[in-house]
Amino acid sequence: MLPSLNLLRAQTFKCSSYAVSKRLYTGGRLQGKTVFITGASAGIGLATAHEFAKAGSNLILTARRLDRLDSLKQELQDTFTGIQVHTIGLDMQDKPKIDEAVASLPFEQVDVLVNNAGLVIGMDPVETVTEEAYDTMFNTNVKGLVFLTQAILPLMKKRQQGHVINMGSVAGKEAYPGGSIYCGTKHAVEAITRSLLFELMDTPIRVSQICPGMVETEFSKVRFGGDSVKADGVYKGMTPLVGQDIAELIVFTASRPAHVNICDMLVFPTAQASARTVHRKTEA
């Protein structure tokens, strides 16, 4: 009897402690808020959806892979009762579809926009990068971010509240060999985010940028055209960040008091000091 009672107490304490820590983490400020997340079918976007759901937020989730989003929707609504989840199959390169998606939203408000969708294709230098790769990266990483922000901002201005959180990168802080066009897109995101900060400083709308270093997601696999061996080699000998690490920081940023704006956050794994400076353990 006693061991069972102790186990029950331990489980109850664990659940209660989690609830208390989550309230302290977000201050309860995200409960019932509506959060729009792009690129939510995998990686950082998926982890971010989970973190906002834990905080009691309603979600609008977009990605190209609608089947994954619908599975995620079911999982989130089964796990976090009381939240609403709306999914949209959306290619961030298609402005008319972006405008149409925002115009048909079932929610009357968007409190937080997380511009997370982005990708990299290959490591070609400027001299040889294809027009297709160039267009895909700039259209997704930059134009899509701008188009969606343009569609959401009027909703935020009408309510005089909101928060735009853009996914930057260390690649937006420094260029590196093999980065060429991708670095260009993330430098553009950095400049756009800074400009938007100036443009909205006379409103209550906040603007933030989260800039990760090495994060182990599908990112590298996409970069290398599905080559898992090459993708795994990127993180060999070191412990990279994972999507959950960045998701927690996004939710923390969004949950600060209204007068607090975390404008820019650069996040590395402990073994990384710059875009290309990484300490790797050698195998014995």
Cα–Cα distance, 199 to 81 (Å, whole number): 38
Coil/strand/helix, residue 183: helix
Tell me the three-class secondary structure of 152-180, residue by residue.
Answer: HHHHHHHHCCCEEEEECCHHHCCCCCCCH
- Is 186 an active-site residue? yes
d(CA 279, CA 270): 9
Check if 25 is active-site: no
> Other CB atoms closer than 10 Å to residue 253's CB: what's the count?
21
Structure tokens at 9: 């107490």
Catalytic residue among 182, 230, 236, 281: 182
Of residues 91, 49, 48, the one with CA closest to residue 70: 49
Tell me the three state secondary structure of residue 36. strand
Closest of 36, 64, 44 to residue 211, by C-alpha: 44
Share of the chain residues as helix, strand and coil, in percent rounded to the nearest 5: 50, 15, 40
Choosing from 186, 235, 236, 281, the catalytic residue is 186
Which are the catalytic amino acids? 182, 186
